[in-house]
Structure 1
C-alpha cells in the first residue's frame, strides 16, 4: 500500500510503498479519508514523545477519519506499530461513526486537540459536580482553544483564556471567555494581567497546554493569594509543553494552597475512558461547538504537510 513513511528519527516522511497492515479476524481494513498532523504525531515520529517505541521505518499518524467497506465514515485510531493512520489502509481496534453534519476533515484535524481538554474537564466535572472557573494556559493554540470552547459548552461558571495570539484571543472573547495576553517569560509585564484576572476570578481548574516559564508565572500568581481556610481546591492539570519541558514548582505553593497537580495524556488516561467519550466529542463537531480549521495535503505531498505552519492544522488525505 502507499503510505507516509518515516525512515529515521530525523527524516521527513516520504510517500512510499509499505507492507499492508496485519489483519484482524472478521475485520476489513479501513480506507483513509483524512489523518491529522498533530504535535504528538511529530513527537512520536521523531522518537521524542514518551509513548514512542522508536522502531523504524514507521507510518506516522495516531488517529483518522476513515471509510468502512460498507461506506460508513468513522473516527478511529490506535493502529498497531509500526503502522499509523497516514496510509491508504489501516487496521484499528475501534470505530465510532461520524454524526450527520460533522465535516470529516475538521474531525480529523480537531479530535485529538479537542480530546486533550475534554478529558480533564469531564473528569473534574464528574468529581465536583459542576465546573467553576477554568483557567486555560495556551488558549490560542488549537488544543487550548478547543478546551475553552469545551469548558463553556460544559457549563463552566467562567473561563479565563490566556494566550499569545491576540487575534485568537479576540475570537475567544466573543465566545464569552475572559481573555489575558500571555508572555513567554514571567518577567514580562503581561504576567500582571494574569495576576489580576486570577485575583478577580479564582480558578478551580487550570488546564496547562504550555508549561515552562508560563507555568512558573502561574504558580507565582496562584501563590500570591495567601492562605484561606475557605479557599476551594485548585486542580492544576499539565497537558502540553510547548513553552518548555521543565518548570520549577515552589514548595510554598503546595503548602499554602489546596492545590493538586497532575497530568493528562496517554498513560494517565486509559484508552477505554477516551474511547467512551468519543461520541460526545464528535457530537460537538456536528453542532458547531468545536471548529478546527485545516489544510488538506494528498499523501503524495506528505513532506509539504510536515512543513506546514500557521493557524490551520495539516490533514493528510488520499491522492
Structure 2
C-alpha cells in the first residue's frame, strides 16, 4: 500500500524549495505543461553518477550547448566528446554516452524510449538511470534510489542494517512512498531533501517536512545513519609517465585503449600501473626524471606517477603514440591525472 500522505507533504515542500538546475523543469512550469527533455535528463543523470551537482553543471552546459540533441551527440567525433569530458572522471561514462546516443539515433529515430524496459535496453543505462529518466522525463511511477534517497529512507525508518546490505529494505520503503501522480517531481523532491536538509552531517531536522514521522529523529539516532560496512584500505600503484616535446613544440601523446581506466582518453605514453612499474619508454631519449610526482586517487587504488621528460628531435619516430602540433594541443582535454603530470612537466620542458 502506498503511503501517499508523506509523499504529498514532500511535494508541497518541493513546490516551494525546488533547486534550480540547468536540466530541471521547475514544478510550477511542469504544472503549466512544460515537459522535461529526456535527452537533458539522461545527460544529467549520467554525469551525476558519483559526481556532485556543482562539478557537473559546467560540463552539462558545455555538452548541451555544443550538442543540443541526442542526434548531434551521436554524430560527434569520439575525440571531441572525450576531450569535453576530461576532468569529470569515470571515463567509461563518456564512452557509454556515445554508444547510447548512436543507438538512439540509428535505431529509435533520435527519440528516447518512453518506458523503463525500453530505456534499460540501451547501452550504459542501468536500473537507476532507467528509473530516473522514466520518472523525471515521463512522470512514470518508477523509484529512484541514490545516495541521498538511501540516507533519507534509513533515517525516516531508523534502519540500522549497514549499506550495501540495506539496499533492498531501503528500496522497499522508497517504492511504497513513490506516488502514482507527479512521480517525476517526487523523485527530484526526495533527492533534494537529502541534498539540502537530510545531509550527511548536521541535518536541518527542524525545517524538514518529514520531521514528525522521522523515526531516527525520535530515537536520537540520526547522526548514526546510514550505517556502512567498513571499506578495505586502498592499495597504492606506481607508474611512469613519459612527457615529451618535439623540437618544433609538438607533444608526444597517445590515445589509451578503449577498455580499462581512462579508456579512450588522450594521455602520455607510460608504463603499466603496478606495485613496481617496468621501464616502458616510447622512444630512446635522454629522459630526465622530475623531483615531483603526479598523485591521484581512483575508486579502487591510489596512483603515484614518476614523470620523465625529454625534448625529441624533429625526425623522432616513437614506437608508441603520435605527435600533436602545439596549436592543436589543449591540456584541458587530458584526464585529471595526465593533466597533473603535464602541469609538473610543462615548465621544465619550456626551458629545454
- Which category describes the TM-score, using the shorter chain as reference length? under 0.3
TM (norm. structure 1) is 0.22
Q: Which has the higher contact order (CA 8 A, sep 6+)?
A: 1
Return the index of the structure with the highest Cα Rg: 2
TM (norm. structure 2) is 0.21
Structure holding more strand per residue: 1
